[in-house]
């Protein structure tokens, strides 16, 4: 993380943040309700992630991580959905940071039109602090350790029985292509989000995506009933992990940022992790006319899957579902980002990039030679996949 207020833009460039950075004055008011921490003394780093304002804050008793959300993005109940999941994971041995409670026992602190959360700082180092989302791991060793971490999260989440989240922006849910009729479920998804309901251009792109993704839904549909529901992270890219050291052999020590979590299934989460880390989507953003030039890190894919299955082997049905899920998993988050850009920021250009560039663009990419190759590798058995990845 940096110490100046910049954010990661949608094309990978550094841009001015949408939300004002945290200030010491507001942190003093917030942390006054956390007497065990003492007063904040310095802002050590500013997160470049674009959807909130956050940073590591020095206090009299040590550093903490503070995040501020606008009420249009997270309300109190929405944040508590995440906190209950984190508490369960922590209680079941997963390496995730504790959410700290105020003197009144609250973990979601409302001040004005903002909502705050305060986390302990995880063990390890923020090795990918400057990395843009959708950029690859530095090494295959990192990919393997990330796979192991994801499997540990899935094992710890197994008995968390909370219902799916209510409709909210910036949540990577899985309902449209989990249904027998994606067209009807798409209509339902859009109707529950006022900023999307009457948006004709978005609806046209949604219909186009349904058509492009129909073959992958047909491949997944007979397998979907056997995929057990599970609360999942849904955004486990390299920069949402802490690491043992700044080396090429570093191990993941903690998982952070559960804002996109929801009740989906293990394959959906694994597919998201593949999609986030293995395919260099920013190349497609900046050169959409040449989709076959998008790099795919097959050595990292092999390592990621080996790491995952060393702790939680995939069932035969899960293995068969992984390829179509990789093509489908991004759809709802692209729509959810559109909801954020239109509802919270009133930014039509960025919403267009989400529903056209990402929803339709990613769906179309899986029909090009590079996308088909990735899916073919995922469809192969373990031994054949390893040969293809080399």
Q: Do both 176 and 281 map to the same domain?
A: yes
In a domain, 83, yes or no: yes
Q: How far apart are CA 72 and CA 207, in angstroms?
A: 27
In a domain, 309, yes or no: yes
The CA–CA distances, whole Å, from 237 to 24, 247, 279, 319 equal 30, 18, 11, 21
Q: What is the pLDDT of residues 42-54, one digit of tens each?
A: 999 999 888 999 9
Closest by CA position to 168, among listed 301, 333, 379: 333
Q: What is the percent of the chain where pLDDT is above 90?
A: 89
pLDDT at 297: 98
Q: What is the pLDDT of residues 76-93, one digit of tens each?
A: 999 999 999 999 999 999
pLDDT at 383: 47
Domain count, the chain: 2
Q: Do both 283 and 195 map to the same domain?
A: yes
Q: What is the pLDDT of residues 113-127, one digit of tens each?
A: 999 999 999 999 999
pLDDT at 49: 84
Domain residue limits at 65: 7-120
Radius of gyration of the chain (CA): 20
Among the candidates 85, 120, 155, a domain finishes at: 120
pLDDT at 382: 54
The CA–CA distances, whole Å, from 69 to 19, 97, 108 equal 9, 18, 10
Q: Read off the pLDDT of each residue in 278-304 and give the average, rounded to a whole number.
A: 95
Q: What is the pLDDT of residues 339-373, one digit of tens each?
A: 999 999 999 999 999 999 999 999 999 999 999 99
In a domain, 105, yes or no: yes
Q: Do both 254 and 188 map to the same domain?
A: yes
Q: Do both 203 and 87 map to the same domain?
A: no
Of 83-87, 164-168, 197-201, the poorest mean pLDDT is in 197-201
Q: What is the pLDDT of residues 149-160, one digit of tens each?
A: 999 999 999 999
CATH number where 44 lies? 3.30.200.20
Q: What is the pLDDT of residues 1-33, one digit of tens each?
A: 455 656 555 655 666 778 999 999 999 999 999
Q: Look at the block and give the residue holding tokens 């899957």.
A: 305
Q: What is the pLDDT of residues 314-334, one digit of tens each?
A: 999 999 999 999 999 999 999
């Amino acid at each position: 993380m940096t110490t100046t207020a910049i954010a990661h833009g949608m094309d990978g460039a550094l841009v001015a943040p949408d939300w004002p950075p945290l200030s010491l004055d507001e942190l003093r008011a917030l942390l006054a309700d956390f007497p065990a921490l003492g007063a904040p003394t310095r802002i050590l780093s500013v997160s470049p992630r674009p959807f909130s304002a956050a940073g590591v804050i020095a206090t009299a008793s040590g550093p903490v991580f503070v995040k501020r959300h606008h009420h249009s993005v997270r309300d109190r109940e929405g944040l508590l959905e995440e906190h209950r999941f984190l508490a369960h994971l922590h209680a079941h041995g997963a390496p995730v940071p504790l959410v700290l409670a105020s003197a009144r026992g609250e973990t979601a602190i409302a001040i004005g039109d903002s909502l705050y959360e305060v986390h302990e700082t995880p063990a390890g180092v923020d090795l990918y602090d400057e990395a843009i989302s959708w950029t690859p791991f530095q090494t295959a060793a990192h990919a393997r350790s990330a796979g192991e971490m994801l499997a540990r999260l899935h094992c710890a989440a197994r008995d968390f029985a909370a219902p799916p989240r209510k409709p909210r922006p910036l949540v990577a849910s899985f309902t449209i292509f989990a249904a027998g009729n994606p067209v009807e479920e798409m209509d339902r998804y859009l109707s529950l989000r006022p900023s999307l309901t009457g948006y004709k251009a978005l609806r046209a792109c949604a219909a186009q995506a349904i058509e492009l993704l129909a073959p992958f839904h047909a491949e997944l549909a007979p397998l979907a009933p056997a995929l057990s529901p599970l609360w999942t992270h849904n955004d486990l890219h390299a920069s949402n992990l802490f690491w043992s050291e700044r080396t090429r052999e570093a191990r993941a020590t903690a998982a952070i940022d559960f804002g996109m979590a929801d009740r989906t299934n293990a394959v959906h989460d694994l597919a998201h992790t593949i999609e986030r880390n293995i395919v260099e989507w920013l190349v497609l953003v900046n050169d959409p006319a040449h989709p076959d030039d998008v790099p795919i890190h097959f050595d990292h894919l092999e390592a990621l899957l080996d790491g995952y299955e060393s702790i939680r082997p995939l069932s035969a049905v899960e293995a068969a579902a992984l390829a179509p899920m990789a093509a489908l998993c991004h759809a709802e988050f692209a729509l959810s980002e559109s909801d954020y850009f239109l509802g919270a920021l009133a930014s039509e250009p960025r919403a267009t990039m989400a529903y056209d560039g990402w929803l339709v663009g990613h769906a179309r990419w899986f029909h090009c030679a590079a996308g088909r190759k990735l899916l073919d590798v995922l469809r192969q058995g373990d031994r054949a996949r390893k040969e293809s990845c080399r």
